[in-house]
Chains A and B, each alone.
Chain A
Amino acid sequence: MQRNPQLNANGELQHLLSIEGLPREILLQILDTAESFVGVTERDIKKVPLLRGKSVFNLFFEPSTRTRTTFEIAAKRLSADVINLNIAASSQSKGESLLDTVANLSAMHADLFVVRHASSGAPYLIARHVKPHEHVINAGDGRHAHPTQGLLDLYTIRHYKKDFARLTVAVVGDILHSRVARSLIHGLTTLGTPEVRVISPQTLLPAGVESLGVHVFHDMREGLKGVDVIVMLRLQNERMTGALLPSAQEFFMNYGLTAEKLALARPDAIVMHPGPMNRGVEIDSSVADGPHSVILPQVTFGIAVRMAVMSIVAGN
């Protein structure tokens, strides 16, 4: 097995490609740094000069509004210059290869690439080919990883629950296609969460999911009993009918989070969702907007977490 491509020779974070394989200390360093940035985002003047003079290229090979925007805000709050490239609509459609695109941008003196790509592993390929002073942050690759989302989920959980050591966390929905679920599960297990559950029909679970360190539940009511944190996953439209599921309605009946099912969790349970939400498919509006929901604070923390990741990799 090759050396972990995310770490430099001193074991520091060179690129953020996946939460898997990152030591606990680095995860905590990111969460602690993010905490110091939460204050910045609440000030009148929301800027710190940590990345002044640096260029951040948002390379989105797959459309995204929310993630791209939060990365852009985070980079700007660190005083970086931000260039947004919607590659899905430009050079790739002219036949330019992924690595050629990156080499060209590198020639424009990039410091940091934020990459989203529909193919699992694409940021690894880019990270293998960038110059030593350039950094890659994975903003979501295929089904593989979405580490900044995982980190902001961890941040949110720590914010409300303080400690991972006694928590039971349930992740509900389409685990098979979810990079969010994979990143969060790796983060939770690395930080010592004693019980992580996945709740899903067999058709939406990858083979051997238990090897990630989770307990599998098919019955949502059973799986939610006594949990501290509920993470609902987005169900993509194209998965709602066909061979994976018969219909969105039936999915909601079995795996949608309603007030009645939420009542099975601990009274102080929090409800999270990476967004964008399908109200009435995976989550009922009364829950999404209810007192247990921390879905909007997740978005706010997301900016601080992305500021933390960018400032840490750029400093290494």
Chain B
Amino acid sequence: MKKRQLLDMYRKMVEIRKFDAVCVNLKRKDLILDGFHSYEGQEAVAVGVLSHLGADDYVLSSHRPQGHALAKKSDPGKVLAEMMGRLGGVGRGRGGPMTFSDWENHFITTTTVGSGVPIATGIGFALQTRRKRGVVVSIFGDGAANTGACHEGINLGSVWRLPMIFVCENNLYGEALPFSKSTATEHISERAKGYGIEGITVDGNDVLAVFETAGRFIEKARNGEGPSLLEVITYRIRGHYEGDPQNYRTREEVNTWRKKCPIVRFRKYLLEKASCTEDELIVIDQEVESTIQKAREWALDQPIPTLKQMIDAKRITA
């Protein structure tokens, strides 16, 4: 891989991390309201998978969408404004931190867990019928993997060999329930066999490993070879939500995963294996910091919509 591309991926991971920290801060100040779920620690998944996508491709995400949105190249200012319920947001502030869609960027979230999978399948169907080269990435969590909708959507996408990939972002907890208590198989990817598609589990904190397998699966989808199931194992560093008592896991466990930080790990790789210099990376860190601060200021400047701007009066009967 070219150094330029590696640095772009690094930049995006840092952007997602810094963006998340800004969100946590705005949540504390009650400027982001409820429904915010931190993405800290999972950046390698968003970047590893979604760096492959272009404007003609689609993403179906869920209630922890901000990292995915930035990796799909949504504008950080507009996403942040949306998360704060501002008029300048991608959905004019109607959806908030977990329920936003950036339709112009072909990015959708749904927040009834598992529900996005069949919708992704429908988008895949439309792309196939219209013989477009676009693909759909359906990203869902380990919790969603056990819903009926998820199963129905993967099965239908597989039967019709649609141009899509299914990504199970397994962060080891569905809210407070550990993966081992929700799922009897060791890996979600084993289920691929039951759908007649290829399934692989990769280390979700290794951005290059995610990038490589996701790239192969997306290429298959583009070439008409149908969907695949990629499971990425990662870890949700913060609680499910801000203020989560986290009585379901130990501090030691969290600390162990903190040491596996995907950004620190990729940074090390860039310095040791990709002939990048500390200075280059520091410049990127600073540039991203400035981008995110500008996005934050822009978002904070956006007005809070009135009720009239929030609802469509034409649809309300007298």
Q: Do A and B come from one complex?
A: no
Q: What residues make up the interface of B, taking CB atoms closer than 8 Å to A?
A: none
